[in-house]
Structure 1
Amino acid sequence: MSEDAVHPKIDVKKTMAGYRAPRGTFALVELADQRYLMIDGRGDPNTAPAYARALVALYPVAYALKFASRRELGRDYVVPPLEGLWWADDMNSFTGVPDKSRWQWTMMLMVPDWIGSGMVDEAVARTADKAAGERLEGLREVRLQTLSEGLCVQTLHLGSFDDEGPVLERMHDVFIPEHGLQMTGRHHEIYLSDPRRVAPEKLRTILRQPVLPR
């Protein structure tokens, strides 16, 4: 029997509930702790050099992990979608007319649970050996960290990132208080579409907010 038969390639978008959300309404989901490759920054993601540097650092490490998992463990998987935690001193900068210059963020790629921290360290080191300049600078900031969100509200947004404001207003100001909840943690986005290849009006993004009972 082939390794592929024993360990078929995993795609978390198809196997994990957190990567599925309804469009046009909000759903409550209870999420287990999950580990991510993370890198922090601040500023407008369209113009901040730190944002581009973060992606240039994260993806090579994620692919190094994927190939190491397939080679050493016989377990292959689709590199999970890019995710981001977003916050600001004034969260109103995310609704209405957003002020992206005030945003802070953590960009993330999920790490499967069968991959140990040692493999992550080796993947970062191997990637750094081949890197220089801005990529090497970004690699020094990559870390493996567990994210604990628990109970969350989420929905699927179809359209431009700039059109998320009204959806977030309904989530924050209507759904969450009407269900006796309060926001906790950071606004979380999961990018199911590649904006380099998909028209803005067709982008699929999961919008998530951790919550607690009041």
Structure 2
Amino acid sequence: MDKIDYKKVYSMLYKASAKKAAVVDIPTLQFIAIRGEGEPGSDLFTQSIQALYGIAYTISMSHANDDLQIPNFQRFVCPPLEGHWSTINGAEYDGVDQSVFEWELRIMMPEFVSEKYFEKARSIVSAKKNNPKFDEVALITRESKKHCVMMHIGSFDTEIKTFKTMETYVKENGYRRKSRDHEEIYLSDFRRVSSDKLKTVLAFEVGE
């Protein structure tokens, strides 16, 4: 049986164009998520990512685990890591001081993953691996919203150019950016791919 690939199911999001911005309706989805503050290269940030993937892979492989048999389970490809980025108390980011960052890291989960089985998966993986961040991971729901999206290819440090293109598109098409917060979907493993080849979907919420 083929696995569900949510990058194909929600292609309007995961396959955003690198040449042109677009406004899309993102449906209500659920995620496993963890919040934090400070530099994205910190040990806490890394531990948070490891905790998310530990739980996500435990759930995605639950069909092979007698202790975690999820009703209505369908095999699926583990979706990519995402991040919601803002600053503490709305502080202005000067391009240098990353300690002002406030973030929520998350990985999308199918509808059949209930709170009960999420907690069971978290318990199973936390018993095997020593990571203090497991207890901070939660199962959340993100309500349907309208976003401007565009693919950014290159270093995270050059995202501002893509955001400017997106903001111009929004204004020219009768929308407005609702806040300075933004979201990123990491289609490349930034630990293994050179910065000039990174593929990241950028998004921010818009209104009319």
Q: TM-score, length-normalised on structure 2?
A: 0.88
**152, 159, 163: which one pairs with 2:154?**
159
Matching residue's letter, 1:131? K
- Per-residue deviation, 1:139: 0.7
- Asked if 1:84 corresponds to 2:56, the answer is no
Query: Which of 113, 118, 121 is the aligned partner of 1:115?
Result: 113
Deviation at 1:70, TM superposition (A): 5.9
Q: What whole-Å deviation, never above 9, does each CA across 1:119-142 have from its counterpart, x for those lacking one?
A: 11110111121232xx1x201100
Coordinate RMSD, CA, aligned: 1.9
Letter of the 2:139 counterpart: L
Aligned residue pairs, count: 200
TM-score, with structure 1 as normaliser: 0.85
Partner of 1:56: 50
Structure 1: unaligned runs, 5 residues or longer:
none
- 3-state DSSP class of the match of 2:133? helix
Q: Sequence identity, in percent?
A: 30
CA distance in 1: counterparts of 2:172 and 2:184, whole angstroms? 22
- Larger helix percent: 1
Check conservation: 1:34, 1:110, Cα contact below 8 A: yes
Q: CA deviation digits over 1:150-204, x for unaligned, max 9?
A: 11100000111111012113323x2223323222363110000111221111111
1:96-137 Cα offsets, whole Å, 9 max, x none, are 8354221110000110122222211110111121232xx1x2
- Unpaired stretches in structure 2, ≥5 consecutive residues: none
| 1:33 maps to which of 28, 43, 49 | 28
CA 1:70 to 1:183, structure 2 compared with 1: closer, same or farther past 3 Å?
Answer: farther
- Is it true that 1:177 corresponds to 2:171 in the alignment? yes
How far the C-alpha of 1:90 sits from its partner, in A, is 4.3
Secondary structure in 1 matching 2:34: strand
